[in-house]
Structure 1
């Protein structure tokens, strides 16, 4: 079995208003050293191992998990224990 961890974040050109709100809250708590906060989404997909796994993960991310206009993704494939 393979475990695919998918991380979705906003593209750098898109304003991350949630991240800015969190940064403001963190600063109000006294943690002024925090310079940037980025919000994102995290998914875990479990697959049987097969030849086209990466191609299918890319398709799932492009067609379902992300908005390609404003988001980008990366993933890692791990051997599931």
Structure 2
């Protein structure tokens, strides 16, 4: 079994209203010095019956087809 973590984040320059709301909330809670906050998504995925190269190819295909909107989001795949 191969375990992987996929991290999806907004591309630089794409507005992130949720990140901005979190930034303001943290400041309101007394956490001073908080800079720009960007939010994203993390997926922990287990793949059975594949070698590392095939799993990486499959994970990238999953990101391109479903997990990430590649027009506005970047993704990274880490196999553990």
Q: TM-score, normalised by structure 1?
A: 0.88
**Partners of 2:16 and 2:39 within 8 A in 1:** yes
Q: Look up the SS of the partner of 1:57 in the other structure.
A: helix
- Equivalent residue number for residue 31 of structure 1: 31
Question: Over aligned residue pairs, what C-alpha RMSD do you find?
Answer: 1.1
- TM-score (normalizing by structure 2): 0.89
Distance in structure 1 (CA, Å) of the matches to 2:27 and 2:54: 45
1:31 Cα shift? 1.1
Q: CA deviation at 1:12?
A: 0.7
Gaps of 5+ in 1: none
Asked if the contact 2:18–2:39 (Cα under 8 Å) also holds between the matched residues in 1, the reply is: yes
Q: Which ranges in structure 2 are unaligned for 5 or more consecutive residues?
A: none
Look up the match of 1:11.
11
Pairing 1:1-81 to 2, within 5 Å after superposition: 1-48=1-48, 49-50=50-51, 51-78=53-80
CA offset at residue 45 of structure 1?
Answer: 1.0
The structure 1 segments of at least 4 consecutive aligned residues displaced by more than 4 Å after TM superposition are: none
The structural deviation recorded for 1:13 is 1.4
